[in-house]
Amino acid sequence: EVQLVESGGGLVQPGRSLKLSCVASGFTFSNYGMNWIRQAPGKGLEWVAYISSGSSYIYYAETVKGRFTISRDNAKNTLYLQMTSLRSEDTALYYCARGRGMGYWGQGVMVTVSS
Amino acid sequence: DVVLTQTPPTLSATIGQSVSISCRSSQSLLHSNGNTYLNWLLQRPGQPPQLLIYLVSRLESGVPNRFSGSGSGTDFTLKISGVEAEDLGVYYCVQSTHAPYTFGAGTKLELK
């Protein structure tokens, strides 16, 4: 069974940093590109970043470019999102999702940016 | 960036009714490799989204065949042939042809 489990969220002050993790199981992680997608409370889905299976291709939304870094460790079956210079508008539920097709999603991890 | 315009924003339906959702793109979603990376997702209340349709018209495994997708280029449609109670929620189209990837604003399907 495919599983994606996010962690690392919490309450953080504006301007601070946070690192999210997504541990994958039930499939060959190294064969798939991965995404981070977020959803602000009561709002729609916003794609954040994508990393290809071998980390050769990395893309970001303009709203996070230069502040967020997506990475992965295929030996640990883990996807990461390093978030710096956090803003109140980054407050959201953050999901990891498998592949360009976004066929599998985790349950999400909440990030709240507030003083 | 590619803008996906979904209509209608809200859809009221009775059980058994057939409904359609439109997703129009600001540019062609045909990739140079010949694929069109336009997918449809359903997010039920309190749940993460689930994939219904990928590559425009391919039904994800386990998804009922009352769901179907069609379209090409810039115009795409999701059809539900006979709405059931479990279909209520918010439907999103998403494109992963052009980076940055983008979502439509969503269509909320409600019971009439």
> Two tokens at B95?
């494109």
Rounded Cα–Cα distance for residues B53 and B69 (Å): 7
- Partners of A102 on chain B (C-beta within 8 Å) are 39, 41, 49, 51, 94, 96
Predicted confidence (pLDDT) per residue in A62-102, tens digit: 999 999 999 999 999 999 999 999 999 999 999 999 999 99
Rounded Cα–Cα distance for residues A56 and A66 (Å): 18
Q: Does B106 touch chain A (CB under 8 A)?
A: yes
- CA angle at A34 for the pair A33 and A40, rounded to the nearest 5°: 155
Confidence grade of residue B52 (pLDDT, cut at 50, 70, 90):
very high
> Two tokens at B11?
């859809």
Please spell the DSSP secondary structure of A2-69, one letter per residue. Answer: -EEEEE--EEE-TT--EEEEEEEESS-GGGS-EEEEEE-TTS-EEEEEEE-TTS--EEE-TTTTTTEE
- Partners of A95 on chain B (C-beta within 8 Å) are 48-49
For residue A40, pLDDT over 90 is answered with yes
For residue B18, pLDDT over 90 is answered with yes
Are A20 and A68 within 8 A, CB to CB?
A: no
